[in-house]
Amino acid sequence: SQQGEEDPQALSIQEGENATMNCSYKTSINNLQWYRQNSGRGLVHLILIRSNEREKHSGRLRVTLDTSKKSSSLLITASRAADTASYFCATDTGRRALTFGSGTRLQVQP
């Protein structure tokens, strides 16, 4: 069963705007990872944030983690048409295997 939910389920924005996706989970975690998937292809690893971290940056990506609320957010700044994809959060509870959220479909309009 899925660990949590992501919202929104779908998001449509214009190029240049920022996109924010939220992920909630249910149990304590060791780390949380974000992935991108283009049109049913393989998953691209974006960023990992550990349970003792609150924020991480990678290029145009900013991830936050609030373990007290069991939630995380992914911010993509200055979005591009090439960012159009599905984005998934996934949690590692210590088992090493990941439990995925439901995903957010992002559409960036040129």
Partner 1 sequence: SAVISQKPSRDICQRGTSLTIQCQVDSQVTMMFWYRQQPGQSLTLIATANQGSEATYESGFVIDKFPISRPNLTFSTLTVSNMSPEDSSIYLCSVEDGGRDEQYFGPGTRLTVT
Footprint of partner 1 on this chain (CB under 8 A)? 1-2, 30-31, 33, 35, 40-43, 45, 48, 50, 88, 90, 92, 95-103
State the nearest-atom distance from the C-beta of 69 to partner 1, in Å. Answer: 21
Between CA 43 and CA 20, with CA 60 as vertex, the angle to 5 degrees is 75
Cβ closest to partner 1, residue 60 vs residue 100: 100
Cβ closest to partner 1, residue 42 vs residue 59: 42
**Residue 68, CA distances (Å) to 29, 30, 35, 91 in order:** 11, 14, 23, 15
Cβ closest to partner 1, residue 41 vs residue 110: 41
Q: Which helix (H) or strand (E) holds 88?
A: strand 85-92
State the nearest-atom distance from the C-beta of 15 to partner 1, in Å. Answer: 26
Count CB atoms within 10 A of the CB of residue 77.
14
Give the separation between CA 68 and CA 59, rounded to whole angstroms: 26
State the nearest-atom distance from the C-beta of 5 to partner 1, in Å. Answer: 10
State the nearest-atom distance from the C-beta of 84 to partner 1, in Å. Answer: 16
